[in-house]
Structure 1
Amino acid sequence: MSKHPVQMFEYHTWASQTILGRIKGLPSSVLSQEVNSSFPTIAHALTHIYAVDKMWYLVLTGTGMPEALQACITLNESILNSVDEYANLFAQLSEQYREWFQSQADLEQTILLDNPYAGIRQTSLSEIVLHLVNHGTYHRGNISTMLRQLGHASTMNDYALFWYQEATK
């Protein structure tokens, strides 16, 4: 099995925890302060990332995409009150993904993905994982911008920094 999708997922987990760690070091009000950005608050952005991560987990574990989307719609509306709550949710889901990875012999196998917005296509499991990572990277960038709009520096969470963090483990 190619290790690249797994490594990319580990980067995704690390980057999410890194930005959550930065937010945790700021006043708790930062989570719910309104900004003029892609999301009304950082909490909304974190909720969206989590809901999409969960939706893809459901797809990867055998739920049809229309059903997975429906199951996660309410998650997208569940705004949490603390960074610790988000960190715990993300950590729990990451463990579920790791267990799923352990059960996979071939991440290049394809499934029939019925995307209600884009149509039906054969999609490899690795493509889904890489999309999940790309989606999270995009929205962590939104969060970095939101932090700057609120007068705070963000934190570096680039893939290249992850390489060096991993090398020191």
Structure 2
Amino acid sequence: MAYLETIQSMFKHLHWANQRILETLQNSEENKQANNLFSHTLHAENVWYTRLKGADSSHLPIWAEVSLESCVEMVNQNHHNYAEFLSMLSNIDLDQLVSYKNSKGTEFQDSIRDILTHVALHGQYHRGQINQLLRASDLEPINVDFITFKR
């Protein structure tokens, strides 16, 4: 399987996992910490998409608290943005460098491949933290494992 196909699969998983976490958060007692981690994940997806498109992301929030209703919109918008972006890439494009500044104004250059891999892994890291918070609230963690998605 070509690397682009792997990344596309990772982003299908990312959307599936986001939907599962969102549904759980919507159907359980409010957990502010879990909601904040989830909204951070979605904000970060948007920031990285903005950078991939070559636009300035310095004005975009990373840790802004938003309602779960806003998270629904963000999940759908991020999914649309990345699906469209990924559909226009080739395996050769993955090695292109993207120049961007982080929130502190420091400039970096990373390949599209590394940025997309980071986005997928960053989300999974925070979904794990959310599951830990759910368990601490006596709720069953949500299985968001990649292999479960593939099955």
TM norm structure 1: 0.76
The separation in 2 between residues aligned to 1:138 and 1:161, in whole angstroms, is: 16
Give the aligned partner of residue 147 of structure 2: 160
Gaps of 5+ in 2: none
Given candidates 46, 49, 63, the residue that maps to 1:54 is: 46
Is structure 2 residue 36 aligned with structure 1 residue 44? yes
Say if 1:22 and 1:154, in contact at 8 Å, map to a contact too: no
**One-letter code aligned to 1:30:** E
Task: Flag structure 1 segments of 5+ consecutive residues without an equivalent.
Answer: 33-40, 165-169
| Per-residue Cα deviation, 1:43-72 (whole angstroms, up to 9, x for no partner) | 111111111111001001112xxx31x222
Partners in 2 of 1:71 and 1:121 — Cα distance? 17
What's 1:103 paired with?
A: 88
Calculate the aligned-residue CA RMSD, in Å.
Answer: 2.2
Equivalenced residues, count: 147
Structure 1 pair 19–116 and aligned structure 2 pair: CA distance change class (3 A)? closer
SS of 2:95's equivalent in the other structure is: coil
With over 3 angstroms needed to count, the CA separation of the structure-2 counterparts of 1:160 and 1:118, relative to structure 1, is farther
Aligned residue for 2:19, secondary structure, equals helix
Map of 2:13 onto structure 1:
11
Amino acid at match of 1:92: Q
* 1:132 corresponds to: 119
Which whole-Å CA distance do the structure 2 matches of 1:3 and 1:15 have between them? 18
The residue number in structure 2 matching 1:92 is 77
Amino acid at match of 1:87: V
Read off the aligned partner of 1:46 and give its amino acid letter: F
SS of the equivalent of 2:89 reads: coil
Superimposed CA distance per residue, residues 53-103 of structure 1 (whole angstroms, 9 cap, x where no aligned partner):
11001001112xxx31x2222x632321x3x44223211221011111122
How far, CA to CA, are the matches of 2:106 and 2:65 in structure 1? 28
Give me the whole-angstrom Cα distance separating, in 1, the residues matched to 2:88 and 2:78. 16
Shift of 1:113: 4.2
Contact 2:54 2:98 in 1 (8 A): no
**Which residue is equivalent to 2:59?**
71
Looking at structure 2, the residues matched to 118 and 136 of structure 1 have their Cα atoms a distance apart, in angstroms, of 23
Specify the code of the residue in structure 2 equivalent to 1:21.
Answer: E
Aligned equivalents of 2:105, 2:147: Cα separation in 1? 32
Q: Is the 8 A contact 2:97 2:110 kept in 1?
A: yes
Q: How many percent of aligned residue pairs carry the same amino acid?
A: 23
User: What's the TM-score, normalizing by structure 2?
Assistant: 0.84
